[in-house]
């Protein structure tokens, strides 16, 4: 990318044909041609260059989705990007493309709870075994590699517990044993981390989050290298996953300000983390404090941090934790994150998932905060009042 990503996001996808700053929304189920000869030529071009946006049917996409793919391809610095209707669709596609009955998956213990259900429970009936490793002890990864191991699936940082892993070491292990790798990079996005450049085969981002940035659209992206492209292309055709052009347009619009928003999310989150760190009952699960393992692993690979963080709160009174969350006035209560607004969520055990290496004491509770784009002084004032309710 010759220009910086900040400049690229402002100038990509202009439509000089229609004299529009943004591309048109092209909706189509049937792609029409002037003749059968033209249709066959397009199909031939598609076979010769499967990443070139040569469509003969609407399920493959339209010019709108292709433009989004091209933008993300440059951001990810990868071979190709596949689009899915949800972020979890990209999780499914990455696994579905590579794994077959009899294979084994090694997954980081703090993966997104639905990912754990997919790998640990659903795939079990297809004779596919998933083993979870400790993100802070990669020996638990190495010692579980067998002849059946096919894929190492990473989520970084870990969902809810925000564990940062030694990513280069994971890639090195995978290459040594000729394993495929996938990483959920939704927290950092390619603005802060480019996993394909680091050596991963597949990189997942939930476009529902920071790509969109406005909490009004769902979508996912799966960036791949050339090694796995054919596997994913075949699986994608079979699964029939497709992102609609209207959603693609909204994501393109959101990407224009991705850098501005993420820089502000990080700025606000650090201020909130510094404020909350003064409370002895609260441990901040965010890479703000130098000297910790998490900070070291974050600083080694990331150019910045997003606005999502966790709080591990000590209290013998669970009801006071609920009161703390419920008393927040500027934080909404709901799932997802990555929008312009701040959110708070008390994490029940079912939302955390049945972890092997995360152990919460009876008096420890997890609260997830997404720090939005509001004035951080107002957010701190809101938190200061609510904290008083923690007993």
Closest CA to 285 of 174, 161, 382: 161
| Per-residue pLDDT at 87 | 98
Look up the pTM and report it.
0.95
| Per-residue pLDDT at 47 | 94
| Per-residue pLDDT at 201 | 98
Q: What does the pLDDT profile of the chain (391 residues) look like in tens digits?
A: 567 989 999 988 887 777 888 899 999 999 999 999 999 999 999 999 999 999 999 999 999 999 999 999 999 999 999 999 999 999 999 999 999 999 999 999 999 999 999 999 999 999 999 999 999 999 999 999 999 999 999 999 999 899 999 999 999 999 999 999 999 999 999 999 999 999 999 999 999 999 999 999 999 999 999 999 999 999 999 999 999 999 999 999 999 999 999 999 999 999 999 999 999 999 999 998 887 888 999 999 999 999 999 999 999 999 999 999 999 999 999 999 999 999 999 988 767 767 888 778 889 999 999 999 999 999 999 999 999 999 8
8 Å CB contact between 158 and 111: yes
For 330, half-sphere exposure in the C-beta direction (CA atoms, 13 angstrom radius) is 20
Count of residues making up the chain: 391
| Per-residue pLDDT at 339 | 97
Taking each helix axis from N to C terminus, what angle separates 87-98 and 226-239, rounded to the nearest 10 degrees? 110
| Per-residue pLDDT at 36 | 96
| Per-residue pLDDT at 243 | 97
> 3-state secondary structure string, the chain?
CCCCHHHHHHHCCCECCCCECCCCCCCCCCCCCCCHHHHHHHHHHHHHCCCCCCCCCHHHCCHHHHHHHHHHHHHHCCCEEEEECCHHHHHHHHHHHHCCCCCEEEEECCCCHHHHHHHHHHHHHHCCEEEEECCCCCHHHHCCCCCCEEEEEEECCCCCCCCCCCHHHHHHHHHHCCCEEEEECCCCHHHHCCHHHHCCCEEEEECCCCCCCCCCCCCEEEEECHHHHHHHHHHHHHHCCCCCHHHHHHHHHHHCCHHHHHHHHHHHHHHHHHHHCCCCCEEEECCCCCCCHHHHHHHHHCCCCCCEEEEEEECCCHHHHHHHHHCCCCCEECCCCCCCCCEEEECCHHHHCCCCCCCCCCCEEEEEEECCCCCHHHHHHHHHHHHCCCC
Cis peptide before 157, with omega less than 30 degrees from 0?
Answer: yes
All structural domains of the chain, each given as residue ranges with its CATH number in brackets, are 5-255 (3.40.640.10), 258-387 (3.90.1150.10)
Contacts of 151 (CB under 8 A, 6+ apart): 95, 98, 99, 103, 105, 106, 179, 180, 181, 182
């Amino acid at each position: 990318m010759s220009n910086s990503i900040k400049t690229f996001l402002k100038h990509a996808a202009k439509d000089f044909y229609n004299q529009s700053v943004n591309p048109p929304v092209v909706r189509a189920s049937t792609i029409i041609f002037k003749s059968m000869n033209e249709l066959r030529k397009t199909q031939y071009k598609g076979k010769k260059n499967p990443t070139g946006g040569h469509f003969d049917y609407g399920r493959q996409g339209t010019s709108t989705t292709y433009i989004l793919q091209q933008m993300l391809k440059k951001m990810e610095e990868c071979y190709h990007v596949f689009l899915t209707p949800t972020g979890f669709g990209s999780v499914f596609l990455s696994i579905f493309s590579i794994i077959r009955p009899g294979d084994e998956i090694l997954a980081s213990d703090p993966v997104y709870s639905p990912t754990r259900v997919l790998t640990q429970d659903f795939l079990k009936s297809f004779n596919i075994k998933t083993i979870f490793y400790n993100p802070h002890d990669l020996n638990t990864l190495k010692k579980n590699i067998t002849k059946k191991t096919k894929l190492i699936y990473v989520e970084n940082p870990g969902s809810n517990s925000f564990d940062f892993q030694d990513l280069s070491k994971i890639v090195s292990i995978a290459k040594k044993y000729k394993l495929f790798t996938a990483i959920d990079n939704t927290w950092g996005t390619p603005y802060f981390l480019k996993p394909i450049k680091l050596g991963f085969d597949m990189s997942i981002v939930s476009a529902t989050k920071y790509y969109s940035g406005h909490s009004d659209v769902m979508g996912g992206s799966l960036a791949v290298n050339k090694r796995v492209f054919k596997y994913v292309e075949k699986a994608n055709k079979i699964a029939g996953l497709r992102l609609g052009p209207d959603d693609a347009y909204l994501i393109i619009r959101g990407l224009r300000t991705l850098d501005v928003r993420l820089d502000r999310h990080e700025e606000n989150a650090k201020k909130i983390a510094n404020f909350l760190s003064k409370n002895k009952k609260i441990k901040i699960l965010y890479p703000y404090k130098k000297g910790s393992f998490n900070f070291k692993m974050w600083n080694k690979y990331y150019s910045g941090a997003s606005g999502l963080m966790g709080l591990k709160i000590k209290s013998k009174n669970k009801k006071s934790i609920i009161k703390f969350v419920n008393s927040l006035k500027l934080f909404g209560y709901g799932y997802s994150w990555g929008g312009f607004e701040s959110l708070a969520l008390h994490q029940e055990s079912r939302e955390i998932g049945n972890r092997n290496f995360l152990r919460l004491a009876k008096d420890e509770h997890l609260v997830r905060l997404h720090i939005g784009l509001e004035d951080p002084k107002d957010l701190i004032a809101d938190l200061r009042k609510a904290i008083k309710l923690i007993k």
